[in-house]
Amino acid sequence: MNTVLSARKRPRSLAQELVEALTERIREGALAPGHKLPTEAAVMAEFGVSRTVVREAISKLQAAGLVETRHGVGTFVVGPGEASFRITPEQLETLRDVIAVLELRIGLETEAAALAAVRRTEENLREMRSALDAFAAAVAEGRDAVGPDFGFHLEIARATQNGHFAELLSSLGAKIIPRARLGNETSAELQAYLLRTNGEHQSIYDAILRQDPEAARAAMRTHLANSRERRRRAAGEKN
C-alpha cells in the first residue's frame, strides 16, 4: 500500500518520517540484510516526497549504519559484519577525534569540490541550492543544521560524477559534520559561527556554479580548515 506523507510538514520532518518508515521495514525484515532499497523514483512515488527528502532520509540511514551505497549498484540494507569502512560514534567522542576526521575531509573534499566545478549538472546545482536554503532556514529558526550541512557536502561529492566520492562520504554519514556548539560559547558567538559557515558554503557553491575548479578547491579547503582551527583552539592545540 502506498503511503503519502503529509505535504504540510517541513522537508526536514518529512525526511525523518521517511527514515522511521524505512527503519521499521528493516527491523521487521521486510527489507532484510543484503536487500537493495527501492530506487529514488520508487520511494518518491510511494511516499509522495521529493528527491531532496529521499536523499536526506538515505543519508540519515547511512549515518545510523542501517544501509550503505555501492557505486554503480544501489543502496543496500547492512547486516551484522557487512558494513564497509565507517567512523563509529566512539571515534568522535573528543575534539581531537573530530579534528582527525576534519583532516580526512580536507584531503577528500577539496579535490571533490574541484571535480564538481568541472562536472556538475544543473540538477546537482539545484540540490546544492536547496541544501543551502535549508541550512539558512535552520539557522534562522534556531534548529539543528547538521542535516542540510551534510546534504550540501554530499551533493558536491555526487557532482564529481565519480561514485566513489559519494560512496565514501555516504559511508561516513552525517555524524562527520561537527556539532556547532563548543561548550562555553554564547548564543551570539554560535550564531556568528553558523552565519560564517553559511557564507563559506556560498563561496564554494559560487565557485562550482562558475565552473572554476581552483576557486572551488580553495573555498572548500578554507571552509574545512576554519572548522578544524576552531576546534583546535577549543582543544588548546597549537599544531
pTM more than 0.85: no
> What confidence tens digit (pLDDT) does each residue in 119-152 have?
999 999 999 999 999 999 988 888 878 888 999 9
Give the architecture-level CATH label for domain 89-235.
Answer: Up-down Bundle (1.20)
Nearest to 35 by CA among 67, 77, 79: 77
| pLDDT tens figures, 100-117 | 888 999 999 999 999 999
- Grid cell 574541484 is found at 114
Domain 11-77 coded CATH 1.10.3720.10: no
Helices (H), 88-174: 95-119, 122-140, 146-159, 163-172
11-77 and 89-235 agree in CATH topology: no
Which cell is 230 given?
576552531
- The domain locations on the chain are 11-77, 89-235
**CB-count exposure of residue 203 (10 Å: 0-12, 13-18, 19+):** middle
Grid cell listed for 98? 573530530
